[in-house]
A and B are shown apart, each in its own frame.
Chain A
Amino acid sequence: MEVFNNFLNGTITLFSDPLGILIFFGGVIGGMLFGAIPGVSMLTLAAILLPFTAHLSPEHGIMLFSVIYCTGVYGGAITAILFNIPGAPENAPTAFDGYPMTQKGQAGKAVGAAVMCSAIGGTVSCIIMMIATAPIADWAISAFGPPEIFALVFFGLAVASSVGAKTFWKGWLSILIGLMIAVVGLDPVGGIERYDFEMPYLLAGIHFIPVILGFFAVSEIFVQAEKKAVGSYKAPKMGVEFPTLKELLAHKVAVVRSIIIGFFCGILPGIGATLAAFMGYNEAVRWSKTPEEFGKGKLEGVISSETANNAATGAAMIPLLALGLPGGALTAMMVGVFQMHDMEPGPLVFINSADLVWVVFAAMFFANISIIFVGYLETKTIINLLRIPFQFLAPMILLLATVGAYAVRGLTIDVVVMFLAGVIGFFLRRSGYSVAGIVLGLILGKIGEQTFAQAMQMLHFEWSGYFDRPIALGLLLAGFATLGGSIYGSFFKKKKPAATDPAI
């Protein structure tokens, strides 16, 4: 009852303030729009808006970012489905089946499923977040230390090695490239310069936004360009037929499974929606009676990925607000908003700024609900982007990506890095490697190394210390079992000819 009263108070505070309403709807539309414009993402919008939040109240600033987070994660699915360009890494698995659906003229159905499932996943996650923040935060604090987080990162990477590449070895090499890129810059323990090649730019490490834009948006343009050059380019077919309620109900098990996966991945600091989406998709394939249909335009692929990544958004706020640990790039920017107002996210926020917390929770709840209404209206408009010939769309995407890469730090070298990543991505993709794997390796690499160092220091450099931590041990063993199974499969199982359906 106390939760309901707090939620009601938060809702009243949110909607009784005209500026709050304006910021809320600005965030909803802005998040969806930037998530949906090929080449830019909600992170671009957040990076652009970050300095301006200094002029807003802390409630409005944090609320704006949380709303952008909810709707932006959904918005990224639109580009993943229509153009094979995920708006963010968490939308990458959506493209596996969403883009083939577009090519089959079922773009509307895929986007419609993304709308519904994003809203369902996000709303349920939000409700659980409101009810369970305190007990879950307590459990996470006591159960998840650096060894468990490192073990979870390892398990996540082991699972992800089976996504997107032609073979297990190519998938694993893709992830290792990402891990290697993450090594560039200062080491997380001693601050020692690594692989900087005496270039000051590399001291701060390679920023993940230009790399993501390059590997996804730019390399996709290059692939389409090659097809155009040889005359094998096929314009995506247009369709605005949304999925029926019956079709969605037929996937209720996938929705529930993805909500559970998404929520538990989202709650863990530094893991967030990306792993949630990959695991949601992986589990959908693993439990399916027809796994061979995935990657060829199966609705369940879109449903699983989009439900899981939006289910992670509510959960990701728990470590941020309860522990002060950001779960990803956007929640890290939220820490910046707190700091600009001389506040620190953490347990004290619940005591000193309870109003702020509940306004944010209410805003996230209504942002997820609004995905259904605004999402449908916006989708009908955005889907018309498919009518634009690709030779006119390509320069627009490339220039938006340029602005997105430059806006992060105001460095032209980031634009060079983005286009270089695009060229490398183009060559790796044509050799059967996975750009999604590289990006996942890059994002989880820094967290992995940092938590590994912390874990080893905590365990006094004794590997046997893992045997005293059942969760960490279980996750490590599950990771090794996944790797072992894949290695065995790559050498000793009868091979199937590779399918040639488009994906990441």
Chain B
Amino acid sequence: MGNLRTGHLVEGVIWLSLCLFLYAYSFEFDQNIEIYKFGASSWPRTIILLIAIAAIGQLFQHWKYGDDTSSNAMQAANVDDAEDAAHEAHHESLGWYLSTFALLVIPFAYMRVPDWIAGWVAAEGSTLHILRIVCAAILIGLFLTQIKRNMVGAILTLPLFFAALLEDMGFYSLAPFFIVGVMYLFGESRPKPMIAIMALIYGLLMLLFVNILFVGLPVGNIRPFYDIGSWVVTVLQ
């Protein structure tokens, strides 16, 4: 095993599995192009081959030198400090990874589950909107219960959740809650500064992008969020 650790092997397996998946999927578009004899798949397959070679090369380097490596002065000079934060935080255990990935599933669940349920119960129009609001409420509740257990996982998930809700609930309705949520996850718990900063940030963004630059931001598809977003735009423009 040389200096190889389980983490190195997991990293190698992830890379090689990715190569396998991407290579298998490349048959979906493996078509000839009349004027180009290499076809549509040769370029991505070359990259896949290079990824596989690099992954094996990395495994070999880990086998020979373990973690105590940096290939030259350039690289040694530019190592990211994110690694150190991970070490300090003890965020490298399997449990932490599983808990984080479970949290990260929540936004994607919102993007898929309401449509699946709507398909089963043939929900349309306002029923579908209510279904989406209920799903969002359940998932928000689930998210809130997990915050204390995995703060970093919650910070990674919150922006994705915000983005997933954006289409339905709009920027104008969600932004104030998002601002407060981020401040809270970053350790701010005093209500008065949180409300004041939230109002300041929201006000500045609205003034700059809606009032001055007329940037169209998502107003949402679901009532009452759509009405709130439209009202804000009407008032500011």
Contact = CB atoms under 8 A, between A and B. Distances in A.
Interface stretch (A69-77, A303-311, A393-401): A393-401
A295 B78 contact: yes
A222 B77 contact: no
A189 B29 contact: no
Interface string A229-250: 1101000000000000000000
Interface stretch (B113-121, B130-138, B214-222, B229-237): B214-222
B75 to A, nearest CB: 6
B81 A500 contact: yes
B72 interface: yes
Interface string A435-460: 00000000000000100110011000
A353 interface: no
Interface in A476-504: 486-487, 489-491, 493, 495-504
B174 to A, nearest CB: 10
Interface residues of A, number: 96
A466 interface: no
Nearest to A498: B70
B61 A503 contact: no
Interface string B55-71: 10110110011001111
Interface in A406-445: 406-407, 410, 412, 415-416, 418-420, 422-423, 426, 429-432, 434
A432 B79 contact: yes
Contact of A490 (B47, B61, B209): B61
Interface in B9-40: 11, 15, 22, 25-26, 29, 31, 33-40
A192 interface: yes
Given A222-B155, A230-B89, A402 B163 contact: yes
Nearest to A286: B74
Contacts of A416: 107, 111, 160, 163-164
B166 interface: yes
B201 interface: yes
A164 B83 CA distance: 13
Contact of A190 (B36, B70, B107): B36
Interface in A363-397: 389-392, 394-396
Interface stretch (A17-25, A171-179, A335-343): A171-179
A173 B76 contact: no
B128 interface: no
A166 interface: yes
Interface in B89-136: 89, 91, 104, 107, 111
B37 A461 contact: yes
Contact of B155 (A229, A292, A499): A229
B1 interface: no
A194 B86 contact: no
Given A162-B72, A225-B185, A295-B77, A491 B167 contact: no
A193 interface: yes
B207 interface: no
Given A176-B51, A407-B215, A498-B76, A429 B178 contact: no
B74 A394 contact: no
B152 interface: yes
Contacts of B199: none
A399 B185 contact: no
